[in-house]
Chains A and B, each alone.
Chain A
Protein backbone atom coordinates (compact mmCIF):
# COMPACT_ATOMS: atom_id res chain seq x y z
CA UNK A 1 0.00 0.00 0.00
CA UNK A 2 0.95 3.62 -0.43
CA UNK A 3 1.70 6.19 2.24
CA UNK A 4 -1.23 8.46 2.92
CA UNK A 5 -0.48 11.61 4.92
CA UNK A 6 -3.19 13.46 6.78
CA UNK A 7 -3.15 16.97 8.26
CA UNK A 8 -3.69 18.48 10.71
CA UNK A 9 -3.16 15.90 13.43
CA UNK A 10 -5.40 17.79 15.86
CA UNK A 11 -7.94 20.57 15.49
CA UNK A 12 -9.81 22.49 18.20
CA UNK A 13 -12.77 24.53 17.02
CA UNK A 14 -15.57 26.48 18.63
CA UNK A 15 -19.00 25.03 18.00
CA UNK A 16 -20.36 26.61 14.83
CA UNK A 17 -16.96 27.05 13.18
CA UNK A 18 -15.98 25.14 10.07
CA UNK A 19 -13.42 22.32 9.97
CA UNK A 20 -11.32 20.80 7.20
CA UNK A 21 -8.98 17.81 7.14
CA UNK A 22 -6.65 17.05 4.24
CA UNK A 23 -5.31 13.80 2.90
CA UNK A 24 -2.26 13.70 0.59
CA UNK A 25 -0.31 11.10 -1.31
CA UNK A 26 2.86 11.39 -3.39
CA UNK A 27 1.42 8.95 -5.91
CA UNK A 28 -1.95 8.62 -7.59
CA UNK A 29 -4.68 7.15 -5.42
CA UNK A 30 -7.03 4.61 -6.96
CA UNK A 31 -9.80 5.70 -4.60
CA UNK A 32 -10.24 7.29 -1.18
CA UNK A 33 -12.51 6.33 1.68
CA UNK A 34 -13.33 8.41 4.75
CA UNK A 35 -14.11 7.08 8.21
CA UNK A 36 -15.12 8.61 11.54
CA UNK A 37 -14.05 7.11 14.86
CA UNK A 38 -15.61 8.46 18.04
CA UNK A 39 -13.44 8.42 21.19
CA UNK A 40 -13.29 4.82 22.43
CA UNK A 41 -15.26 3.65 19.41
CA UNK A 42 -14.67 1.93 16.12
CA UNK A 43 -14.27 3.36 12.60
CA UNK A 44 -17.51 4.01 10.76
CA UNK A 45 -17.53 4.29 6.98
CA UNK A 46 -18.60 7.71 5.70
CA UNK A 47 -17.99 7.70 1.96
CA UNK A 48 -15.87 6.50 -0.95
CA UNK A 49 -14.60 8.71 -3.79
CA UNK A 50 -13.33 7.19 -7.01
CA UNK A 51 -13.44 9.76 -9.82
CA UNK A 52 -11.02 12.59 -10.42
CA UNK A 53 -12.44 15.90 -9.16
CA UNK A 54 -15.38 14.16 -7.49
CA UNK A 55 -17.35 16.11 -4.88
CA UNK A 56 -19.94 14.50 -2.62
CA UNK A 57 -22.05 15.99 0.14
CA UNK A 58 -23.68 14.48 3.20
CA UNK A 59 -25.63 17.18 5.05
CA UNK A 60 -22.90 19.41 6.59
CA UNK A 61 -20.03 17.25 5.28
CA UNK A 62 -18.40 17.86 1.90
CA UNK A 63 -15.89 15.41 0.47
CA UNK A 64 -13.56 16.20 -2.44
CA UNK A 65 -11.16 14.14 -4.52
CA UNK A 66 -8.43 16.12 -6.26
CA UNK A 67 -8.18 16.39 -10.03
CA UNK A 68 -4.86 14.54 -10.00
CA UNK A 69 -6.23 11.97 -7.52
CA UNK A 70 -3.36 12.68 -5.15
CA UNK A 71 -5.32 14.46 -2.46
CA UNK A 72 -8.69 14.58 -0.81
CA UNK A 73 -10.44 16.72 1.77
CA UNK A 74 -13.32 16.53 4.20
CA UNK A 75 -14.99 19.80 5.15
CA UNK A 76 -17.56 20.14 7.93
CA UNK A 77 -19.69 23.28 7.95
CA UNK A 78 -20.85 24.74 11.29
CA UNK A 79 -19.44 22.03 13.54
CA UNK A 80 -21.52 20.56 16.34
CA UNK A 81 -20.42 18.72 19.48
CA UNK A 82 -21.62 15.49 17.87
CA UNK A 83 -18.88 15.91 15.24
CA UNK A 84 -16.21 15.17 17.84
CA UNK A 85 -13.97 12.26 16.88
CA UNK A 86 -11.07 11.29 14.67
CA UNK A 87 -11.52 11.42 10.91
CA UNK A 88 -9.44 9.05 8.82
CA UNK A 89 -8.88 8.86 5.12
CA UNK A 90 -7.89 5.51 3.64
CA UNK A 91 -7.01 4.05 0.27
CA UNK A 92 -8.11 0.56 -0.74
CA UNK A 93 -5.22 -1.08 -2.61
CA UNK A 94 -5.54 -4.21 -4.69
CA UNK A 95 -8.91 -5.90 -4.81
CA UNK A 96 -10.84 -5.88 -1.60
CA UNK A 97 -10.83 -3.65 1.44
CA UNK A 98 -7.16 -3.85 2.35
CA UNK A 99 -6.87 -0.24 3.42
CA UNK A 100 -3.93 2.06 3.98
CA UNK A 101 -5.08 4.58 6.57
CA UNK A 102 -3.85 8.10 7.10
CA UNK A 103 -2.87 9.06 10.63
CA UNK A 104 -6.20 10.75 11.25
CA UNK A 105 -7.30 14.22 12.34
CA UNK A 106 -8.70 14.45 15.82
CA UNK A 107 -11.47 17.04 15.99
CA UNK A 108 -12.43 18.60 19.29
CA UNK A 109 -15.42 20.97 19.46
CA UNK A 110 -15.89 23.44 22.29
CA UNK A 111 -19.57 24.14 23.09
Chain B
Protein backbone atom coordinates (compact mmCIF):
# COMPACT_ATOMS: atom_id res chain seq x y z
CA UNK B 1 0.00 0.00 0.00
CA UNK B 2 2.16 2.83 -1.34
CA UNK B 3 2.05 6.16 0.41
CA UNK B 4 2.01 9.56 -1.24
CA UNK B 5 4.62 9.47 -4.00
CA UNK B 6 6.49 12.57 -5.04
CA UNK B 7 9.11 12.95 -7.73
CA UNK B 8 11.68 13.99 -8.30
CA UNK B 9 13.17 13.90 -4.81
CA UNK B 10 15.63 16.61 -5.74
CA UNK B 11 15.38 19.09 -8.61
CA UNK B 12 18.02 21.59 -9.64
CA UNK B 13 17.08 24.42 -12.00
CA UNK B 14 18.78 27.54 -13.24
CA UNK B 15 17.05 30.88 -12.94
CA UNK B 16 14.47 31.31 -15.67
CA UNK B 17 13.84 27.60 -16.22
CA UNK B 18 10.65 25.74 -15.45
CA UNK B 19 10.17 23.29 -12.59
CA UNK B 20 7.57 20.52 -12.64
CA UNK B 21 6.86 18.67 -9.44
CA UNK B 22 4.71 15.54 -9.48
CA UNK B 23 2.58 13.96 -6.79
CA UNK B 24 0.60 10.72 -6.83
CA UNK B 25 -1.77 10.58 -3.85
CA UNK B 26 -2.41 7.46 -1.83
CA UNK B 27 -4.78 4.96 -3.40
CA UNK B 28 -8.35 5.99 -2.78
CA UNK B 29 -7.44 9.60 -1.93
CA UNK B 30 -9.02 12.29 -4.05
CA UNK B 31 -7.95 15.37 -2.06
CA UNK B 32 -4.47 16.76 -2.74
CA UNK B 33 -2.67 19.63 -1.04
CA UNK B 34 0.63 21.32 -1.82
CA UNK B 35 2.76 22.95 0.89
CA UNK B 36 6.07 24.79 0.74
CA UNK B 37 8.70 24.71 3.48
CA UNK B 38 11.66 27.04 3.75
CA UNK B 39 14.64 25.92 5.88
CA UNK B 40 13.99 26.06 9.63
CA UNK B 41 10.38 27.14 9.07
CA UNK B 42 6.92 25.63 9.20
CA UNK B 43 4.99 24.58 6.13
CA UNK B 44 2.95 27.12 4.20
CA UNK B 45 -0.24 26.07 2.43
CA UNK B 46 -0.25 26.70 -1.30
CA UNK B 47 -3.15 24.97 -3.04
CA UNK B 48 -5.92 22.40 -2.49
CA UNK B 49 -7.18 20.30 -5.39
CA UNK B 50 -9.65 17.55 -6.06
CA UNK B 51 -9.81 15.62 -9.30
CA UNK B 52 -9.86 18.17 -12.14
CA UNK B 53 -10.76 21.02 -9.77
CA UNK B 54 -8.83 23.66 -7.86
CA UNK B 55 -10.69 24.09 -4.58
CA UNK B 56 -8.53 26.76 -2.97
CA UNK B 57 -5.36 28.39 -4.28
CA UNK B 58 -5.19 31.25 -1.80
CA UNK B 59 -1.66 30.34 -0.71
CA UNK B 60 -0.18 30.21 -4.18
CA UNK B 61 1.63 33.18 -5.75
CA UNK B 62 -0.48 34.72 -8.51
CA UNK B 63 2.30 34.66 -11.07
CA UNK B 64 4.51 31.82 -12.32
CA UNK B 65 2.87 29.14 -10.17
CA UNK B 66 0.13 26.79 -11.30
CA UNK B 67 -1.24 23.44 -10.18
CA UNK B 68 -3.44 20.76 -11.66
CA UNK B 69 -4.85 17.38 -10.74
CA UNK B 70 -6.10 15.77 -13.94
CA UNK B 71 -8.60 12.96 -14.16
CA UNK B 72 -5.80 10.56 -14.99
CA UNK B 73 -2.28 10.86 -13.68
CA UNK B 74 -0.52 12.69 -10.88
CA UNK B 75 -1.01 16.18 -9.56
CA UNK B 76 1.50 18.64 -11.00
CA UNK B 77 2.86 21.80 -9.40
CA UNK B 78 4.44 23.94 -12.09
CA UNK B 79 6.76 26.87 -11.47
CA UNK B 80 7.68 28.93 -14.50
CA UNK B 81 10.76 31.16 -14.76
CA UNK B 82 12.11 30.06 -11.41
CA UNK B 83 13.99 32.49 -9.18
CA UNK B 84 16.36 31.84 -6.27
CA UNK B 85 13.58 32.58 -3.79
CA UNK B 86 11.65 29.54 -5.08
CA UNK B 87 14.28 27.25 -3.55
CA UNK B 88 12.45 25.24 -0.90
CA UNK B 89 11.05 21.83 -0.06
CA UNK B 90 7.66 21.28 -1.68
CA UNK B 91 5.44 18.73 0.03
CA UNK B 92 2.34 17.14 -1.35
CA UNK B 93 -0.25 15.61 0.96
CA UNK B 94 -3.44 13.68 0.36
CA UNK B 95 -6.53 12.62 2.25
CA UNK B 96 -9.47 10.37 1.53
CA UNK B 97 -12.11 12.88 2.54
CA UNK B 98 -12.40 16.58 3.23
CA UNK B 99 -11.58 16.50 6.95
CA UNK B 100 -9.78 13.20 7.14
CA UNK B 101 -6.21 12.49 8.21
CA UNK B 102 -3.53 14.00 6.01
CA UNK B 103 -0.64 11.93 4.67
CA UNK B 104 2.46 13.71 3.39
CA UNK B 105 4.84 12.64 0.66
CA UNK B 106 8.63 12.75 1.05
CA UNK B 107 8.80 16.10 -0.70
CA UNK B 108 10.74 17.59 -3.59
CA UNK B 109 13.74 19.73 -2.71
CA UNK B 110 13.98 22.44 -5.36
CA UNK B 111 17.28 24.26 -5.69
CA UNK B 112 17.53 27.23 -8.03
CA UNK B 113 21.05 28.19 -9.08
Interface centre among B42, B43, B91, B95 (most CB of A within 10 A): B42
Known A42-B104, A42-B105, A45-B103; contact A98-B33, beta-carbon cutoff 8 A: yes
Interface size on A, residues (CB 8 A): 23
Complex Cα–Cα for A102 and B44 (A): 10
B67 part of interface (Cβ distance < 8 Å): no
Apart from A42-B107, A90-B42, what 20 extra A-B contacts exist at CB < 8 Å?
A6-B42, A41-B106, A43-B91, A45-B102, A45-B103, A48-B101, A88-B42, A95-B98, A96-B31, A96-B33, A96-B99, A97-B33, A97-B93, A97-B100, A99-B35, A99-B102, A100-B45, A101-B42, A101-B43, A101-B44
Residues of B within 8 A of A (CB): 31, 33, 35, 41-45, 48, 55-56, 58-59, 91, 93, 95, 98-107
Q: What are 10 A-B contacts with C-beta separation under 8 Å? A: A6-B42, A33-B102, A45-B101, A88-B42, A94-B56, A96-B33, A96-B48, A97-B98, A98-B56, A99-B102
